[in-house]
Each structure stands twice: as structure tokens, then as C-alpha cells.
Structure 1
Amino acid sequence: MTHDEAARTTGAAGQDSPTTPPIDERPRPRYGEYAPEGWTWQPPVDPNAVPDAAADAEATGPSAASAVAPAPAPVAGRPNAAAPARDRLWTIALLVFGVFGLIYNIVALVQLPATALESAKLSSQMLGLDGPTTFTPGPAVPSIIATGVVLQIVLWIGALLWSRARLRAGRLSWWIPLVAGVVAFFVVTIIGMLVFASDPDFLASLSAANV
């Protein structure tokens, strides 16, 4: 056998029986066992890929817009979120004071027929005049007094509800009990005049004493 024939025979034998790779005798690794500390997998980046501008704008748009968006300006005429503490305190105090005023006015109206003559005499004595000597309430006096009492109660309840509504809306409400008190005073005055007018002789004597 020539040298060339021997080489071809050896090459053919090498092609028929490929070399067997070495056997890895290490135990089969579990997930992350042989990964170096701090290593994390990241997907490969395609250098030819074009970034999606719409996706970036959608991802970063809301946060950026919320960061630079100015606060909405207050609308003219819109009430504040809460009423000032001082206004609330004054409103509550005046409403409580109005309760005592309500009780006093009701008692004064109920006792008006009995105290009308005494009040007229006292006023005349202070002025140095001759006052009336008798007073006879008319038949309409009970209804007039009942109307005055109901108006007093309605005024206070109306002031309470209105003040409460304005306090919840954040608006000033301290003036509401004051207005209700002034109106209640005029109601008492008008009811007193109607009661006095129920006795024409008594009203005439009052007019003569004041002349």
C-alpha cells in the first residue's frame, strides 16, 4: 500500500467514526444556579429597529403633562370649599343667642294682654302723662298672638336652615341670624300694635296721652 492510499484509508475511517465529545460529569444546573451575582437577562437589541415615537409619547405623555399642567384658576363666583372658622363660630353663637331671643319674644307675646295696661301706665308715668286706666282685649287677640308666636318660630328655623346651607357652600352666613333677629323685633312690635288696637278706647287713651 502506497503512502497516498494509506492516507485516504485513514481519512475515510476518520469520517465514518466521528469524535465523541467529552461527557460533562457536573450535576445538571438548576435555574440561576451558575449565573453570576447581579446578572439579569435582557432581550437583545436590534440595531436596525426604529423606535416607536407614538409608543414613547403614549408612555411618557400623561406623566409629563400632569407634571407641567398648571393648576386650574378659580372660577369667579364659585364658593370656597369651606366656610372660614370665624364665620362659622359667629353664626353658631348668634343662632344660640337667637334661641333665647325666641323664648323671650314668645313669652312677651303670650303675656301681652295681661301686661299691656301695666306697660302703658309705666310709660305714661315716665313721661309725666295721664295713661289709660283700662284695657279689654278684643276677640281677635288670641289669633293675633298665635300668629306672632308661629312667625317667631318660623324665623328662627329659617335662619338655622339658611345658615346651615350657606356654611356648607362655604359662604358667609353670620349676618343671617342678625337679619332674622331684626325681623323678629318688628314682628313683635306689629303684633303689639294690633293687640292694642283691639281695644279702641285703650288706643285712643294712648293717643291722647301722647298729644
Structure 2
Amino acid sequence: MTDQRPRYGEIATPEEQRLARGLPLIDEAVPAPTAPAFPAPAPAPAPAVDAPRRRPVDRIVTIALLAYGLVNVVVTGLSYLDIGRVMNETMSILGIEGEFTNYAMGRPWGTIAAIVLVLGWCITAALSIRRLRRGRLTWWLPVVGAIVTVIVVSLCLAVPMMNDPAFLAYLEQTAGTVR
């Protein structure tokens, strides 16, 4: 003869399951509601939570600025690895005669400038994406990030330029004409 009793959860009704667990039936477990002695206070109005606003134009402009910045970072960062050419072009634009010869100081500072350029873009992109996800106005952040990064990179490039003999001769020459 086989045992015909249902196993737990197979055929048993919810009431049979509760009794098998040693729990009272639902009607017995829940006491009947009684009227409160004092009326409950009226609920306070919930503060309005601003949902993130969708700004499609801001999103497009921000992404376009970040994309333009990425292309600029790649091209410019690679050129900073050949600092002699960059410094010679800068000196010719400024009208300085002579060539850049401070390669010993220029190479590490060119590498540092390239790394600062990449880090500046990465930080700007991360902050921009964070603001876009929150629905905040963001187009200005890539612009400010680019300005701050260019200032820091310019300072990195100024170190080898200020120690180059051709640049120092130019500064002495211009200082002599100003007097």
C-alpha cells in the first residue's frame, strides 16, 4: 500500500499547509480590526521630487564636445611625444629665431603633458556622463574641463621652453628693446 497523503505543497490546500507547519489558520491569526480611539492625523503632502529633465540638445552638444575633445586629445597627445617638433613650431609662430635644443628636459615634460591631457579628458568625460545621467545641464562642463586642462598642459610645456637657450636669448633680446 502506498502513502496517499500529499507531500508539502503538492496537493495540500493553503489551510492544510499552515496546519502542517503548526501555524493557526488565517482567520484565527489576524484579529478583527477595531476602530481607533483617536482619528489618525491627515498625511502631510509628500515633497515633490524633481524627476531628471530630459534635455536632448544639451545631451547632443555635450557628446559632440566630448567627441571633439577626444579626437583633439589623441592627435595632440601623440604630437607631445615628439616635443622637439612641437617646440620648434611654437617658436616659429612666436617669431623666435633658432631651434629648440632642450631635449633632455623636453621629452619627460612632453610625456607628462600628454598624460595630463588624457587624464583631463577622462575626468571631464566622467563628470559629464554623471551629470547627463542625473538630467542636469552639462554642455558647459566639457568647455571648462578643456580650459583647465589646457592651462595645466601649457604649464607643463612651459618648463622646457623656459629653459631652452634659444628662448632665453629671445627673452633677453626683447627685454633689451623694452628698456
Please classify the TM superposition score into its range, dividing by the shorter chain length. Answer: 0.5 to 0.7
Partner of 1:107: 78
Partner of 1:205: 169
Q: CA deviation at 1:193?
A: 1.2
Provide Cα deviations, 1:50-105, integer angstroms capped at 9, x if missing partner. xx995xxxxxxxxxx9xxx8973426xxx632442222122111111111221232
Q: Secondary structure at the match of 1:192?
A: helix
Aligned CA-pair RMSD: 3.0
Partner of 1:84: 55
Q: 1:72 aligns with which of 46, 50, 53?
A: 46
Q: CA deviation at 1:151?
A: 0.8
The AA in structure 1 aligned to 2:75 is Y
TM-score (norm 2): 0.63
Q: Does 1:95 align with 2:66?
A: yes
Change over 3 Å in CA distance of 1:81–1:197 after alignment to 2: same
Identity, % of aligned positions? 22
Change over 3 Å in CA distance of 1:119–1:141 after alignment to 2: closer
Partner of 1:38: none
Higher Cα Rg, which structure: 1
Partner of 2:144: 179
Change over 3 Å in CA distance of 1:207–1:180 after alignment to 2: same
- After superposition, residues 117-128 of structure 1 pair within 5 angstroms as 117-124=88-95
Asked if the contact 1:95/1:177 (under 8 Å) is kept, the reply is: yes
Stretches of structure 1 that go unaligned for 5 or more consecutive residues are: 1-51, 55-64, 125-130
Asked if the contact 1:83/1:168 (under 8 Å) is kept, the reply is: no
Q: Secondary structure at the match of 2:102?
A: coil
Partner of 1:167: 132
Partner of 1:116: 87
TM-score (norm 1): 0.55
Q: Does 1:153 align with 2:118?
A: yes
Stretches of structure 2 that go unaligned for 5 or more consecutive residues are: 1-32, 36-41
The AA in structure 2 aligned to 1:92 is I
The AA in structure 1 aligned to 2:88 is L
Asked if the contact 1:82/1:170 (under 8 Å) is kept, the reply is: yes
Asked if the contact 1:117/1:132 (under 8 Å) is kept, the reply is: no
